[in-house]
Each structure stands twice: as C-alpha cells, then as structure tokens.
Amino acid sequence: MKAKFQFTLSMIIFGTIGVFVKYIDLSSSEIALLRGLIGCLFLMTVIIIMKKKIPWALVKVNAVLLFVSSIALGANWIFFFEAIKHTTLSNAVLSYYFAPVFVTILSPIVLKEKLSAEKIICIGIAMLGMLFIVGNGKISTSGAGDLIGIGYGLVAAALYASLMLTNKFIKNMDGRDTTLIQLGIASTFLMPYVFLTEGFGLFDISSSSIPLILIIGIVHTGFAYLLFFSSIQKLKGQSIAALSYADPLTSLVISVLILFEPMTAIQFVGGVLLLGSTFVSENQSIKFARRKINYMQE
C-alpha cells in the first residue's frame, strides 16, 4: 500500500507541473535547464546523505546510451513546455500522452517485439482520438494556434518514446542513478544551447518566477523521481500501468476546473479514446509478458 501511495503521489506531482510552467516568465529551454540543474543537485544531495556511490564503471559501459537518452530528455522537456505555452494544458498533455503509441509502433523494430492484432486496433483507436483532438484545434486571437501546441506535444511524445526505448538498453544501472546522470548530461548540453539562443536573460528572472522554478526543480523533478524509483520496483506491472494514469488525469482536472480552459465534447471523446486505448495496449503487453514467463517456467 505504501508503494502504491508513493507511486500515485509521484504521478499526481508530475501532473501538476503544467500549471507552474504556464506562470514562469522564461523560455521553455531556460525552464528545462533550471529544472535539470536543480533536480540533479537535489538527487545528488540525497545520494550523498544516503551514502550511496555512483557506479562509474557502469556509467562508462552505458555512456553512449546515457548520452543519447539525456539529449532526448532535455529536448523532450523543451517541446513539452512549448506545448503548454502554446495551447491548453489538456491539449498539451493529451498530445504528449501519445508517447506510448509511438513506443508500441516502434517496438517491433527496436525491441523485436511482435505487434499483435489487439495492439494494432489500440493504435488505430489512439490515432482516431488524436484526430478528434487535433481536428478541434483552432487559431487563437494571439496568433499562436492550438495546432502548433499540439504539434509541439507530439514532438515531445516522440522524444519521450525514444527516451523510454533507449532506457530499455541501459544495463545494470539503478533508475535513480540513471536519472541523476541523465539530468547532469542534459543540463550540461542545455547550458550552451540556452546561452546561444536566449542570451543571458536567465539571470533576469522575476521574483515571482523564482519559487515556481524551485518547486519544479525540487518537487516535480528531485522529489517526484525519488518517490517514483522508491516505489516502482515494489509494484506489479499492471498496478504501474493503471496508476500512471493519475498523471494525465490530474493535468486534465487542473486544466478544466482550476485554469478554466475550454474543452469541447469532441476533445473529451478524443481524450477518452487516446488514454483508453493506451491503457488497454499496456495491459496487453503485461499479459503477454506474464504468459511468456509462465511458458519459460513450464
């Protein structure tokens, strides 16, 4: 029960990040850089307090994969934050949650997994749901369209899918250590990118944005990842698949009930189709894995 509570809490925390991003007067790349730096320092502090050692030998073995996944992580944050800034939180989150669909599509190529008929149907339903969401996109009075935000969300989803697939090839490293290294590498490469594209405006952050940045770095990154990795190893795959939907559902509730952002009936149906199909697809993967394990044990 404790592990389920910790995992659910981490998902709820992840689901609230959008409302903070919306009110930070920095570019998406600057927010991503500060999030990575603060989150990395937080996790490093925790590891030092717990007297844990970073397995540098394993880091060296997985260096290429860690580098690729770190770049994907940093870029994923930038595009997701851009999605939040260009469209409603619900649109950004639903498009971002297309990531499991990308993973399912790429799994036969990257992981050599069989694509079952059930998964093909789920992909089709997810795409239909995304079509409903995109088809309802409109150009706002400010000139920045919801379609642009949804596009950013889909790019972020593709990057997150590449991150998930790359992480599957990282061997013998604890999730907490992997995340710490990825945050460090992502921050290192985001730093010159931010200074080249945004200049040094990072140091002109307003006093109202400072607490929001600290919350995103400490709570939404360091603390949330700590809860996530402390609980995920104690949970069954089916529980993880079900409880992970606390993330998008939290964002949708905030979008509609707190930010009072509009959501049409078509968007709602699209969201149900998208999230429902990814849920069914993930459960199919878990059942297949269980059958495979049982067959090998017979």
Q: Each residue of 236-284: pLDDT tens digit? A: 766 777 788 888 899 999 998 888 888 888 888 888 888 888 888 776 6
Residue 80 has a pLDDT of 96
Rounded to the nearest angstrom, the gap between the alpha carbon of residue 276 and the centroid of all alpha carbons in its chain is 18
pLDDT value at position 202?
66
CA-wise closest residue to 20 among 217, 181, 216, 231: 216
What pLDDT does residue 145 have?
64
59-73, 82-96, 197-211: least confident range: 197-211
Handedness of CA 140, 142, 145, 150 (dihedral sign): negative
pLDDT band at 291 (very low <50, low <70, confident <90, very high): very low
Choose among 251, 245, 238, 239: nearest CA to 290.
Answer: 238
Q: From CA 134, how far away is CA 98, in angstroms rounded?
A: 12
Q: For residues 233 and 91, is the Cβ–Cβ distance under 8 A?
A: no
DSSP 139: B
pLDDT > 70: percent of the chain: 89
CA distances from 161 to 85, 102, 175, 212 (A): 21, 6, 17, 27
Residue 242 three-state SS: helix
CA distance 59 to 182: 10
Q: In which band, very low, low, confident or very high, does the pLDDT at 92 lie, cut at 50, 70 and 90?
A: very high
What per-residue confidence (pLDDT) applies to 293?
31
Q: What pLDDT score does 78 carry?
A: 96
Q: Please give the residue that has the higher pLDDT: either 166 or 1.
A: 166
Top pLDDT among 289 and 13 is at 13
First to last CA, the chain: 31
For the ranges 1-15, 17-31, 226-240, 249-263, the lowest mean pLDDT is seen at: 226-240
34-43 pLDDT, tens digit each:
999 999 999 9
3-state secondary structure of 145: strand
**By the 8 A CB rule, do 58 and 172 touch?**
yes
pLDDT number for residue 76: 96
Q: Is the pLDDT of residue 157 over 90?
A: yes
Confidence band for 146, pLDDT divided at 50, 70 and 90? confident
What is the total count of domains within the chain? 1
Better-scored residue on pLDDT, 189 or 234: 189
Residue 238 belongs to what H/E stretch? helix 237-243
| Structural domain boundaries, residue 60 | 2-297
